[in-house]
Amino acid sequence: MSPLLAVLAAAAALSPFRDARVAAFRELYGKLPALVAEKESGGDRAGRVVAEMVREDMRRMERLFASEREAAALDPLAPDVASRRLNLRDFGAKGDGRTDDTAAFDRAVAALKAFGGEPAILDIPAGEYLLATRGRRAQLFAQGLANCIVRGESPESTRLVFGDYDASGVELAACTNVTLANVNLAYAETPFSQGRVVAFDKSAGTADIEWREGTLAPDDPRFASRPNAMCCAIFDESGRRIVDQEVFFALSAERMEGEIYRVRFDTGRASYSRVNLKAGWTLAIPDRDNSIGMVRARDSFLCNFDDVWIRNSRAAAFALASASYTTLWKCRVVPKDRDLVLSSNADGVFVSRGAFVAHCEFRNMNDDGLNCLAFGRPVKRVEGRDTVVTDGAGGRCAAGDPMVVVSSKTGEYLYFGRVKGEKRCRGGVATSFDAPLPDDIVSLADIGLSEWTEKDKRDVVHGRRKVDRLADLLYRPYSRGVGLVVSGCTFASMRGTGAVVQCANAIVENCTFENVKKSVEVAARLDWQEGPPPYNTTVRGCATHL
């Protein structure tokens, strides 16, 4: 047994995700030396670039394994670790579903932080804890914690209810080796409107629906204030998701009589031609806000979510794209009750590279089940032989950071280099590199464009605008980690793809996909500036049920 696995074995019975996570990344690591040889033997530029990236993959995985040893040795549940023990009730929490317990959680989190990284456990007894203090980024916010566990008794008995509709539920900021376990999370207010279709007038672009009390009313003023039309969710009389129709709420509705509302759709989208709503079907209109996921993690490392259930969310239920090497183990994203149709207005889980997602259930999302990616930046222009100008605020890169350029036309890797410096310049950010750039990079300037806005991108993706070519994309492929493992998960009833893999070094195994548009997508969505293109990816043992 390797020294790493020996350390992990001591904590395996209590933190089972640790040894499973390391074993999966060991498998990925084992394939990399042969991949270097294969890519270099081809003699083409794309192969040489990938070979350089694979060498970097190996270095970063080796650093990960060293970090895993350190984290396992400080696991608060390990039998040879003398962990501090706290109880939330000792900080004044009531857990009665009526009292605002935000301050009690704040005091408990402060106590954990005061331990300075000594292993600690905060127990949350059974109960319903209301967190309703407004004006916060997240209602349960933890910053700078290390080597601790915050755990309820079970998701069935320990419920956290969030009263501020415009804040995330939980956020971990700059935390290391922190676990949230055995809790059930939901907003007090349902973040979508739901109703039964009474009539549909396709030519007029309207549907009359009988509103389901307890959800947002279709004429709620918050809908009208949103910048973009909302993609609705459609279910037939049996409760089965209709995945081949897509209709967008045009943010306008009026009350007719009783609980009947007339809602208006955006008829200008190409997908509207396929819509045929039937009486008796259920229509759900999400109030989606991509900055408000239920659980967020920012600049955190090796943090874990163990048996955490999310019952509703305004955006991605687990919005973890700004954290490194995150684990989800036995988590669930499922509707709050049998009569409500959505669990998340967007994705089930949005992760960065390095994530380990195992034995989870993602059901009734209004987008993809899982998405792992980095965002690329279109090249505005190339200056000299070593500098690329892109949009952005700057401050994203440090000297020595690896970056790549990907062709938006072919998806090939064109360049691998390390950052020398970054500075603001005319029209964006100039990033200089340690090696000359190739001459065939396509920039916005080359195709006669000065800018490429978010609206431009959405117009192209949704078919409202056609372009002959897009600019090539600059990526930071290692900004949050390397690799992805998705194992033994269920993805069901969503309008998007079950698992979207837009990163290198991935395993998707033994997963079940039920009533989804597409089970697994291994590709870079370059028109969305997502990616970069995958390599060293394995999909095995999965089953799809229509």
For residue 425, name the pLDDT band (cuts at 50, 70, 90): confident
Query: With respect to CATH, is domain 84-189+290-367 assigned 2.160.20.10?
Result: yes
Answer whether residue 534 shows pLDDT above 60: yes
Query: pTM of the entire structure?
Result: 0.93
Average pLDDT in the 310-325 region?
96
Answer whether residue 310 shows pLDDT above 80: yes
| Domain ranges across the chain | 3-73, 84-189+290-367, 192-286, 375-475
Tokens read off for 185? 């999370």
Mapped onto helix, strand or coil, the DSSP state of residue 45 is helix
Average pLDDT in the 372-385 region?
92
Burial class (CB in 10 A: 0-12, 13-18, 19+), 177: buried
What's the DSSP call for residue 422?
E
For residue 395, name the pLDDT band (cuts at 50, 70, 90): low
Answer whether residue 111 shows pLDDT above 70: yes
Answer whether residue 12 shows pLDDT above 80: no
Q: In sequence order, which residues have a C-beta less than 8 Å from that of residue 507 and are 6 or more positions away? A: 24, 27, 28, 484, 485, 486, 487, 537, 538, 539, 540
Query: What CA–CA distance (Å, rounded) separates 304 from 109?
Result: 17
Query: What CA–CA distance (Å, rounded) separates 405 from 205?
Result: 43
Average pLDDT in the 527-545 region?
94
Of the candidate CATH numbers 2.40.10.170, 3.40.50.150, 3.30.565.10, 2.30.42.10, the domain formed by 192-286 belongs to 2.40.10.170
Answer whether residue 466 shows pLDDT above 90: no
Answer whether residue 391 shows pLDDT above 90: no
Q: Which residues of 26-46 are buried (b: 16+ CB within 10 A; e: fewer)?
A: eebbeebeebbeebeeeeeeb
Average pLDDT in the 533-543 region?
96
Average pLDDT in the 323-342 region?
96
| Residue of 377, 374, 375, 373 whose CA lies nearest to 430 | 377
Sign of CA dihedral 109, 113, 117, 120: negative
Residue 492: other Cβ atoms inside 10 A: 20
Answer whether residue 14 shows pLDDT above 60: no
Please report the pLDDT score of residue 9 as a whole number. Answer: 46
Please report the pLDDT score of residue 452 as a whole number. Answer: 81
3 and 69 in contact (C-beta within 8 Å)?
A: yes
pLDDT digits (tens, 9 = 90+) for 242-292: 999 999 999 999 999 999 999 999 999 888 999 999 999 999 999 999 999
pLDDT digits (tens, 9 = 90+) for 210-225: 999 999 999 999 999 9
User: DSSP string covering 104-140, please?
Assistant: HHHHHHHHHHHTTT--EEEEE-SEEEEE---S-SEEE
Q: Do 84-189+290-367 and 192-286 fold alike per CATH? A: no
pLDDT digits (tens, 9 = 90+) for 484-500: 999 999 999 998 999 99
Average pLDDT in the 450-462 region?
78
Please report the pLDDT score of residue 453 as a whole number. Answer: 79
Q: Crossing angle, helix 17-30 and helix 3-11, to 10 degrees?
A: 160
For residue 138, name the pLDDT band (cuts at 50, 70, 90): very high
Answer whether residue 5 shows pLDDT above 50: no
Which of 9-13, 300-304, 327-331, 529-533 is predicted with the least confidence, judged by mean pLDDT? 9-13
Please report the pLDDT score of residue 127 as a whole number. Answer: 98
- When the pLDDT of each residue in the chain is averaged and rounded to a whole number, the result is 93
